[in-house]
Amino acid sequence: MKLIERAKQLIPCDIVCHEISLAILFNASRLPAPAFWPESKGSYESGIIVPDLRVEDSIEAMIKSVPDDPCMIPALENLLKQNHIIAANEVMNPHLYASFSILHELGHWYHFQENYTRRGLNGQKYITDYKEIQLKLELEKIGELAKKAKKGSQEQIELLSEYHKLYRKHPFEIIADQFAIGRLKEQMK
C-alpha cells in the first residue's frame, strides 16, 4: 500500500492531501515523512503532504535520510510505548509509523484551523509562532551541537536524545502527538 492510500483512509476528504516525490522533498531539504503544509504554494494547496513511498518502506526511508540520528525512531517508539499504543517489548512497525505520522500531521492541521485560520491568521503566523517556541526550547542550538559532535560519539547520541525529548515538548508537537495518539487508541478499540 502506498502512503497516499493510507493517508486518504485517515484524512477526511475535505482536507487536501498531496503526494510529493522523494526528489522534490530532498531538493527542499525535507524528510521523507508526511508533513503539514499551512500555506498554498505553487500548485500545492495547504493541507497534508505525503512522500511517494510505500507504507512498508516508510521507516527505512526515514532512517536512510538521517543516518546520523539513531535516536529518531526510538524516541517515537518510546512515545507510543508511554501511551500504551505498543507494548514495552514491541517494536514499531511501518504501518503504525505511517499511521502515527499521518495522524500527527492531521493534528497540526486541526490546530492550525482552530487557532489560526478561524482567527483570520495565516500559515506564516503559524510558522513564525512555531519557530519562536523552537528558539526558546533551543532545538536549533542542540541540533547544531549534535551535527558538530563526532558522529556516533556518546556526546552526539546524548545531544540527539535531548533534541528529540525537547522536540516532543514543543506545544505544537504535543497537540499533534496527542491527537494522533487519541486516534490510534480509537482504532485499537
Domain boundaries, the chain: 3-188
Helix, strand and coil content of the chain, in percent to the nearest 5, comes to 60, 10, 30
Judge contact between 62 and 72, C-beta under 8 A. yes
- pLDDT of 91 higher than 70: yes
In this prediction the pTM is 0.93
What are the pLDDT digits (tens) for 117-161? 999 999 899 999 999 999 999 999 999 999 999 988 999 999 999
- pLDDT of 2 higher than 80: yes
What are the pLDDT digits (tens) for 29-80? 677 888 888 877 776 678 899 999 999 999 999 998 888 899 999 999 999 9
Q: What is the pLDDT of residue 135?
A: 95
